[in-house]
Amino acid sequence: MCRKIFKGISSSSSRLGKERFSFSTASLYENCVGGRFQEEVMSLPLAGIEAILSSDDLQVASEDAVYDFVLKWARAQYPKLEERREILGSRLGRYIRFPHMTCRKLKKVLTCNDFDHELASKVVVEALFFKAEAPHRQRALSSEESATTTRRFLERAYKYRPVKVVEFELPRQQCLVYLDLKREECANLFPSGRVYSQAFHLGGQGFFLSAHCNFDQQTSSQCFGLFLGMQEKGSVAFAVDYEFAARSKPTEEYLSKYKGNYTFTGGKAVGYRNLFAIRWTDFIAEDSLYFINGILHLRAELTIRQ
């Protein structure tokens, strides 16, 4: 049944063209990039793909997944390299929000033969400059662009929240990971929800942060928790010192909230169930010490133990 629906939409979008490809049709595919209907979406014409990718509400794991999907679709539909480069450069590339891709994936963009080298360099440099901006400046750029058609600085409804990572090699392998959550994102976690960050890497291992709304036995109420997990399961033990911090009023500086150490073998998250040692209602309140202009600023510091 689903395949028939996709087939009908695909043929109608070919006849109507992008300008009449309805947003309701695009909404049908919001969960399809990288999802269970990806095979059907792969058969859509260019106009249909553009309609999907233009949506701010496209529900995907990350912008990396959007990039991978666009390449996969372009390679399938345009097997000739020159034609593919033309389509990516003049049509589809504008819908990839490179500033929200991970640095690891941006490195691959620079060496991807499907993109013109000059274009690849331009979008990667622009993305890195955006990542280097202060959060308030990033929000300003996104706001300025909200009324335009490019929308490259606007975040989509990513399943995994973007992070900013600063890495150090000496004197020890270490990284600082910054995760910002909006007040409404935190409010939506109540009473037992979780939100995960995009993956980041240290010492060749993939890690992630997860924010939880937990039930605290001591206060018999919900509270905010933060955890650190390692992606890969393996036999190699990976010992890490970690510290969680958050910006707090009135200084708005990062203050340490929890320190710990753990030897990871993968598949488990560690952290603190009540990061701020307060009830959920106090944490989420309008006069909360931890939301600055509606944003919760979290920082995790990871260091490989020697």
Q: How confident is the model at residue 8 (pLDDT cuts 50, 70, 90)?
A: very low
Same domain membership, residue 140 and residue 262: no
Q: How confident is the model at residue 299 (pLDDT cuts 50, 70, 90)?
A: very high
Per DSSP, which regions of 194-294 are E strands?
194-197, 200-202, 205-216, 221-230, 238-248, 253-264, 269-272, 291-292
278/257 Cα distance (integer angstroms): 12
**Is residue 35 assigned to a domain?**
yes
pLDDT at res. 200: 92
pLDDT at res. 261: 95
25/11 Cα distance (integer angstroms): 12
**Is residue 223 assigned to a domain?**
yes
- Least confident span in 25-29, 113-117, 232-236: 25-29
**Is residue 150 assigned to a domain?**
no
Q: What is the pLDDT of residues 80-96, one digit of tens each?
A: 999 999 999 999 999 99
**Is residue 152 assigned to a domain?**
no
Across all residues in the chain, what is the average pLDDT? 86
- Final residue belonging to a domain, choices 116, 145, 174: 145
- Final residue belonging to a domain, choices 87, 116, 145: 145
Q: Output the six-digit token pair for 259.
A: 């320190």
- Final residue belonging to a domain, choices 145, 170, 202: 145
- Residue 207 belongs to domain spanning: 160-304
Q: What is the pLDDT of residues 264-288, one digit of tens each?
A: 886 778 999 999 999 999 999 999 9
DSSP symbols for 93-157: GGGS-GGGS-HHHHHHHHT-TTS-HHHHHHHHHHHHHHHHS-HHHHHHHHHHHTTSS--TTS---
The mean pLDDT value for 92-111 works out to: 94
Is 113's pLDDT higher than 70? yes
Same domain membership, residue 31 and residue 137: yes
Same domain membership, residue 118 and residue 27: yes
Name residue 214's beta-bridge partners.
Answer: 223
**Is residue 109 assigned to a domain?**
yes
Is 15's pLDDT higher than 60? no
Same domain membership, residue 190 and residue 130: no
pTM score of the predicted model = 0.78
Q: Which residue has the tokens 């990806």?
A: 38
Domain count, the chain: 2
pLDDT at res. 1: 33
**Is residue 151 assigned to a domain?**
no
Same domain membership, residue 120 and residue 25: yes
Beta carbons of 197 and 243 less than 8 angstroms apart? no
**Which of 50-54, 201-205, 228-232, 284-288 is predicted most confidently?**
284-288
The mean pLDDT value for 112-124 works out to: 96
Residue 196's CB is within 10 A of a number of other CB atoms, namely 19
**Is residue 66 assigned to a domain?**
yes
pLDDT at res. 251: 96
Is 17's pLDDT higher than 50? no
Same domain membership, residue 118 and residue 17: yes
Q: What is the pLDDT of residues 142-191, one digit of tens each?
A: 888 766 666 889 988 888 999 989 999 888 899 999 999 999 999 999 99
Is 62's pLDDT higher than 80? yes
Tell me the CATH number at 255: 2.60.210.10
Q: List Cα–Cα distances, 91 to 44, 85, 142, 151, 177, in angstroms.
A: 15, 10, 21, 14, 34
DSSP label at residue 21: -
**Which of 12-16, 33-37, 290-294 is predicted most confidently?**
290-294
